[in-house]
Amino acid sequence: MKALGRRELMALAGGGLAVAAFSAARAQAPASAGAPSPKLLDELVAANRILADQGVVDGFGHVSARHDKRPDRFLLARSMAPGLVTPADIMEFDLDGVAVDPRGRTPYIERFIHSEIFRARADVGAVVHSHNPALIPFGVSKVPLRPVYHMASFLGAGAPVFEIREVAGPQSDMLIRDVRLGRALARTLGRSTVALMRGHGAVVVGDNVKTAVMHAVYAQIDAVVQAQAMQLGPVTYLNPSEAAKIAPQNDALVDKNWDLWRAHALK
């Protein structure tokens, strides 16, 4: 057998390193939590369709759900228009925003919004991010978004405004592109249900998919009603006691709206 020369040995060594690197990368890939329940998958697909049908999102925006089998995993569609999402588009991620099995599907750039909120808030089961134009004015002005009527009682905890310049500097592209920005947004959200993102949109959370969708829809409606009421004169808002009493009652009745919205969005 012919002895291998220096070049051949180096080539083999390089190939071995490449194989080792590939094997290491595979070993470090997050393990799947397994298939989510069919019910959760159905709700997440319906949530995408409902949010589009209700005008909360357009071609942009996204909604996620914490995995029902592991709290350190979440489900989010591939990067696409929410109104077109199907079960095959749903991907699994770990809390670093790493896709478990992408299979060639491109994830949303801003998946770190979801991963960091899930990491920070064990009580959150679903996250909605939208660029809803009704909410934008309250994130760029000094007027706080407040609960005008009982269906928006979850706003009684306030809607803090995230200023990305404080974290990324004055020349960011406004997108939550990494863990650092996602973590800062989660800190701004704190224990609130809604956080506005200056010049960008909002994040809305709930303890499950249905509740998060309801909160997102009524945050939009409340913003419209509040802006209209302010044109008439001084506004009387829900006080903290009213908001605290009403919010759990509304959340308990979420199926009434969900069934209606789902039937309309999926007809």
As given in the structure block, the two tokens for residue 4 are: 């291998």
Q: Which of 1-15, 163-177, 199-213 has the lowest mean pLDDT?
A: 1-15
Please tell me the distance from the alpha carbon of residue 254 to that of residue 209, in angstroms, as a whole number. 10
Strands (E), the chain: 62-66, 73-77, 90-94, 126-130, 161-162, 194-197, 201-206
Contacts 24+ apart (CB under 8 A), 179-186: 179/96, 179/97, 179/112, 179/115, 179/116, 181/112, 182/97, 182/112, 182/113, 182/114, 182/115, 182/116, 182/117, 183/116, 183/119, 183/120, 185/113, 185/116, 185/117, 186/116, 186/117, 186/119, 186/120, 186/121
3 state DSSP class of 236: coil
The overall pTM is greater than 0.85: yes
Selecting among 110, 163, 166, 242, the annotated active-site residue is 110
Catalytic, 110? Answer: yes
Q: How far is CA 183 from CA 32, 61, 66, 133, 177, in A?
A: 23, 19, 17, 24, 11
What pLDDT, on the 0 to 100 scale, is given for residue 22? Answer: 36
Q: Which CATH superfamily is domain 38-265 in?
A: Class II aldolase/adducin N-terminal domain (3.40.225.10)
What pLDDT, on the 0 to 100 scale, is given for residue 162? Answer: 98
Question: What's the CA angle centered on 174, arms 170 and 180, to 5 degrees?
Answer: 85
pLDDT band at 30 (very low <50, low <70, confident <90, very high): confident
Q: Which of 10-14, 62-66, 152-156, 194-198 has the lowest mean pLDDT?
A: 10-14
Task: Give 177-221 pLDDT, tens digit per residue.
Answer: 999 999 999 999 999 999 999 999 999 999 999 999 999 999 999
- For the chain, the structural domain boundaries read 1-30, 38-265
Q: What is the chain's mean pLDDT, rounded?
A: 92
3 state DSSP class of 199: coil
Q: Would you list the DSSP string of 38-61?
A: HHHHHHHHHHHHHHHHTTS-SSS-
Please tell me the distance from the alpha carbon of residue 22 to that of residue 147, in angstroms, as a whole number. 53
What pLDDT, on the 0 to 100 scale, is given for residue 5? Answer: 52
Q: How far is CA 60 from CA 67, 86, 189, in A?
A: 23, 16, 21
Please tell me the distance from the alpha carbon of residue 87 to that of residue 92, in angstroms, as a whole number. 12
As given in the structure block, the two tokens for residue 14 are: 């390089």
Interacting residues of 18 by C-beta distance below 8 A, sequence separation 6+: none
What 8-state DSSP symbol labels residue 36? Answer: P
Chain position carrying tokens 């973590």:
183
Task: Give 106-116 pLDDT, tens digit per residue.
Answer: 999 999 999 99
What number is the average pLDDT over the span 222-239?
98
Q: Is the pLDDT of residue 49 over 70?
A: yes
Question: What's the CA angle centered on 120, arms 135 and 253, to 5 degrees?
Answer: 60
